Amino acid sequence: MENKPAQRKEVLQMISGGASNRELVKAFVKLTPEKVIGGNFPSMAKLKKEAGEKKLSEALAILLIDASLSFGDPMNKEQALDLSTEILTYYYYLSLEECMLVLNRLKRTKVFKFTINVVLTAFDNYDHERLKIIDDNNYSNHLSIKETRTAGKSTQSIINLIKASHQK
């Protein structure tokens, strides 16, 4: 998967185009929180403005129903739409790709029943992980900027010392 916006596949585009669950899995199998955060995928809030709430809610409901099939007791459409509304309300800043990541992880947990509580807990856990990754990235960026500034000042100090010793 490429990070170029024009060539990158996005979940909403694929679902709108009638992609199957297999196609979605193949396209996003290597998705990690780091890749999503660094990949500049549109948030659900942005997609809601661009595509409309109904289309976005239905796309998320499809992902929820697909995930629920892994537990043997699939959600019906109404339950999935209700849960998608709740997710869109509380986690509007996430991308659909992140939702897919959360739901794919949920399929691999030792949970035996796909309930609203289980799904929302998985989203909450991911949200905490996501914030930690963002904080760590920001701290690393801060340190690298600080090192660059410090290195520049050290170099300047050495140059000034050399100039001062030559003037004597």
> What is the spatial distance between Cα 88 and Cα 6, in angstroms, rounded to a whole number?
25
CA–CA gap between residue 14 and residue 24 (Å, rounded): 7
> What tens digit of pLDDT does each residue of 1-40 get?
444 444 456 888 888 888 888 888 888 878 888 888 888 8
pLDDT in tens, 47-86: 999 999 999 999 999 999 999 998 988 899 999 999 999 9
d(CA 107, CA 86): 20
Burial of residue 73 (CB within 10 Å: 0-12, 13-18, 19+) is: exposed
pLDDT at 55: 94
Domain ranges of the chain: 11-119
Q: Which residue, among 149, 84, 152, 87, has the nearest Cα to 123 in the 3D structure?
A: 87
Instruction: Tell if the pTM clears 0.85, that is, is over it.
Output: no
| Residue 52 exposed, middle or buried by CB count within 10 Å (0-12, 13-18, 19+) | exposed
Reply yes or no on whether the pLDDT at 148 is more than 90.
no
pLDDT per residue over 81-120, tens digit each? 999 999 999 999 999 999 999 999 999 888 889 999 999 9
